[in-house]
Every structure is written in C-alpha cells, then in structure tokens.
Amino acid sequence: MPCKNWSSETLGVALAILAAFGFSFKAILVKLAYAVPQAVPVDAITLLSLRMSFALPFFAVIAVHSSRAAPSLSRGDWLMLITLGLLGYYGASILDFIGLGYISAGLERLILFTYPTLTVMIGVLFMGKTLQRREIGALLLSYAGIGLVFFHDLEFSGEAQSVLIGSLFIFASSLAYAFYLAGSGSMIQRLGSVRFTALAMLVSVLATEAHLLVTQPLSALLQPLPVYAYAAAMALFSTVLPVFLQSAAIRRIGASKSVMIGTLGPMLTIVFAWFLLDEPLSLVQLAGAGLVLAGVWLVSRP
C-alpha cells in the first residue's frame, strides 16, 4: 500500500518502528568503532565528538529554520535549554559511551530502557506525583529483568568489576536521560518538539566539543577511516533521523504508544549484537529482556 494512503496512526506506528531501529543500532556502531584495529583505540569523548560533529550541520539548519518565525527565547528558556541539553544529549551520551567500553551492547540497551520507570520515580520524588500499583509492578519487572541479564553477563565475561562499572555508567546515563525527559515537557509545549530538540542538540554539541578540547589534544580526532564511517552512521542513522522520526511518531500516535513500540529496541540490539558482534544469545538473556519490556509496557499504558 502506498504511504500516501496510510492513516495517520499507521504512519505513526511505522515512524516509531523506524526510530526504534535507529536507536537500537547506536550501541552496535559504538562497539564496532571501539574494535577498529589501531595502536590506541578511540576513546569515548573522541567518538562522541565525531558523532556530534557529523550531526551538527543537520541540527543547525533545523534550529535556524524552526526559529525564523518563532518568538525569542527568554533568559529562563535559555537556562532550561542549557540544563536539559547538558543532561540529555551530552551527559547521558558520554556516560553511555564510557559504559559501552565495559559491558555488552545487549545489557547496555536493557539498562538504558529503565528511563521510563526512572522518569516515573522522578515525578514521584520531585513533582508531587503519586506512585500507582502498576508503576510499582513495572519497577519490579524491569529491575528483575536487568538483574537476570546482569548475572548472565557476569557469568559469560568472568570480569565482575568491568560489568559492575559499565552497568553503573549506563544506569547513570539512563538517569540523566530520565531527568531530561521529566524536564522537557514544558519546554516542548513552549517551543515545539522540533525547535526544542534542535536547540538542545546544539547545546550538547558545544558541551561535547568543549569537553574534548579540555581533555584531549586535537590530534585525537585523527582516526582511521572506519571510525569516521561508524561515527557518521551513528550521527545520521542513530541520532538525527530517529530523533525526528520519534517526534513525528509522538505527534501522530502519542507518547505512550511510541514508548511501547520503542520497546522493540532492546530486542533488536540483542539480535544485532549476536549477529554482528558475536555476543552470546541465551534463554536467560531473552527472559530478562522480556521482563524489562513488560515493565516498560506496563508503565507506558495510558
């Protein structure tokens, strides 16, 4: 059936699936970049800087275009944008990239997918919201699933310290992203999702490049061609496109349905990691993933 004959909801579902596919492939591209043979493997901040540099032209054009006829931002708006940009696309990303140096892509994606339950907890602790029974159930399911996959990775790798360190970094990444989501609602209402996302991304790009300049020599950006290729693919297919595909999906089918469809992401990452990275695929891992996805589905129901 041609896309022009699709209903708005059908198109929204298709966009959400494509966004989940793009986001799920990010961890695979990071692991592939880390594995590129060279004397000193690319580090997290250099790889993130390359990703952001490739994404910068897209977000700059979108930010300028979406701001042309829009009202000017107040000082409070800029302060909130800077805070959220530092949390969401800089803070969460650098913590994620560091964590991926220690643990499998499958475990990383499952831990990251705690962000819906963490967002609920932030609402309870800081925004006066009430914790419902189904949200308690979602928390129990999600963390039971992560526990299964965590111990699976411990058994497979035999390096308890690395798995623990990596898991803590990824959990911190998920927490940073949850704070970003919890604080972005009012800004999206004020600025619109496209303008807000583009401006927040520009903040995160500047923060990433500043981090690189402070901690690394510029020669760190001289990398083998495959690293540039993986970073460019990450920027286009796992950053720019899925960010706006997800925004378009939310506009058509709502946030709850988009989040539920997004639960395809961890399963896709586990399959990609097994196929492309030779990471183990076991019934325990699939059971853990199922529990996490059940928790996300439960907390995302309207």
Picking from 173, 181, 30, the residue whose alpha carbon sits closest to that of residue 93 is: 173
Residue 88 near residue 200 (C-beta atoms within 8 A): yes
- pLDDT, residue 172, reads 95
Measured from the Cβ of residue 33, the count of other Cβ atoms closer than 10 Å reads 26
By CB neighbour count within 10 A (0-12 exposed, 13-18 middle, 19+ buried), where does 137 fall?
A: middle
Picking from 44, 130, 140, the residue whose alpha carbon sits closest to that of residue 94 is: 44
Q: What is the token pair recorded at 133?
A: 């029974």
Picking from 32, 52, 57, the residue whose alpha carbon sits closest to that of residue 93 is: 52
3 state SS of 283 = helix
Global confidence as pTM = 0.82
Q: What is the token pair recorded at 101?
A: 């140096």
Give me the residues of the chain with pLDDT under 70, please. 1-5, 128, 157-158, 255-257, 259-260, 263, 296, 299-302
Q: Amino acid letter at 246?
A: Q
Distance CA 240, CA 126 (A): 31
Q: Compute, in degrees rounded to 10, the torsion defined by CA atoms 80, 81, 85, 88.
A: 60
3 state SS of 81 = helix
Q: How many domains does the chain have?
A: 1
pLDDT tens figures, 184-221: 777 877 888 788 888 998 999 999 999 999 999 989 99
CA angle (266 as vertex; 148, 107 as ends), nearest 5:
40
Measured from the Cβ of residue 246, the count of other Cβ atoms closer than 10 Å reads 24
Q: What is the token pair recorded at 271?
A: 């399959």
- pLDDT, residue 203, reads 93
Residue range of the domain that includes 131: 3-300
Q: What is the token pair recorded at 145?
A: 């699933």
Distance CA 208, CA 219 (A): 16
Measured from the Cβ of residue 185, the count of other Cβ atoms closer than 10 Å reads 11
Hey, CA dihedral for 226, 230, 231, 236, is it positive or negative?
A: positive
Place of tokens 């996805």: 293
pLDDT tens figures, 273-286: 888 888 777 787 77
- pLDDT, residue 1, reads 47
pLDDT tens figures, 94-130: 999 999 999 888 788 878 877 777 877 787 777 767 7
